[in-house]
Structure 1
């Protein structure tokens, strides 16, 4: 991640910022943080999970929608862009015609760990998403071949790690039939 050398922006300026490139940024206390492109495997996992969860939403008629690599959450004067956000349909409707930024917690945020983002995903985002009130946070760790489901209980995340053929249990998606093995073979 690279911090741009430009002057600090207000959040309102960030909402309309366009430097003429396809670069993607997060906003942190007035600075733009350039987000590097994901690897092919990273993108494949994002797309598989987005499709899988959207199919589950349709099958079970859940009141959710999937946003892959687009919706940001505004936490403590910064934005984060989870790889996948599960929004309520009301949140989705509220964002129509507005910047794709949530100011209230979504039901689930998912991050696929990149080598350059291990600390952010496991430490920083864990604290931020918990304090923001996101009730469930998944961390997919391709290096360790694991998926952690963090669930908020009394304001703190409780973590359960799944590997191999362990059936992943999710409060947001109680009917999923997913394992880390299936995810890695996607």
Structure 2
């Protein structure tokens, strides 16, 4: 469930400076602050796994990219979304080094992990906002339906490919990545040591 905080209409700059003295996290949607519920542990485990895998691949290929978890993307005049994981260039970070971790230009890849309260947000709202920005690749990892959707930006729209079970995820920006849906989804479990 998303909680919209009754308040004034915030500008993007006011959102960047907003601090109520708590650890609550908000997205800015049409000038309104939307409180983000804490994620599930499964959600966190999957996001952490994806961040590690992508960082390893970036390092292996010596790419000038950085991978961040829970950073933001400005998606409109009065809109900013928090991603689970994204990849941006070092240059994008250099320009904003001492500012809030909200990318104001499209990242190379955005990854969202679906939780029960984020289904519509991840599949509908973020999909259209990320497409409008021209984010070239967007992954929707859905442990509820056991699938991963990879959306590739083509001529202003996303072309979607759905991967399930032991299928290897095909990524345009990581063409050599060898990662199956099952590996990703299993990372959200706790196994006996």
Fold match (TM-score > 0.5): yes
User: Which has the bigger relative contact order, CA under 8 A and spacing at least 6?
Assistant: 2
**What's the Cα RMSD here?**
1.2
Structure 1 gaps of 5+ residues are: none
What secondary structure sits across from 2:6 in the alignment?
coil
Deviations 1:36-65 (A, max 9, x none): 100000000000000010011001112211
| Partner in structure 2 of residue 49 of structure 1 | 50
What secondary structure sits across from 2:99 in the alignment?
coil
What secondary structure sits across from 1:48 in the alignment?
helix
| Partner in structure 2 of residue 7 of structure 1 | 8
Q: Distance in 1 between matches of 2:35 and 2:141?
A: 22
The TM-score normalised by the length of structure 1 is 0.96
What secondary structure sits across from 2:118 in the alignment?
helix
| Partner in structure 1 of residue 86 of structure 2 | 85
| Partner in structure 2 of residue 96 of structure 1 | 97
Q: Distance in 2 between matches of 1:49 and 1:5?
A: 35
- 1:108 is displaced (CA, Å) by 0.6
| Partner in structure 1 of residue 144 of structure 2 | 143
Is 1:171 paired with 2:139?
no
Report if the CA contact (8 A) 2:73-2:106 is conserved: no
- 1:76 is displaced (CA, Å) by 4.0
- 1:9 is displaced (CA, Å) by 2.3
| Partner in structure 1 of residue 37 of structure 2 | 36
Structure 2 gaps of 5+ residues are: 188-193
Q: Distance in 1 between matches of 2:8 and 2:119?
A: 28
- Counting matched residue pairs gives 186
- 1:7 is displaced (CA, Å) by 2.4
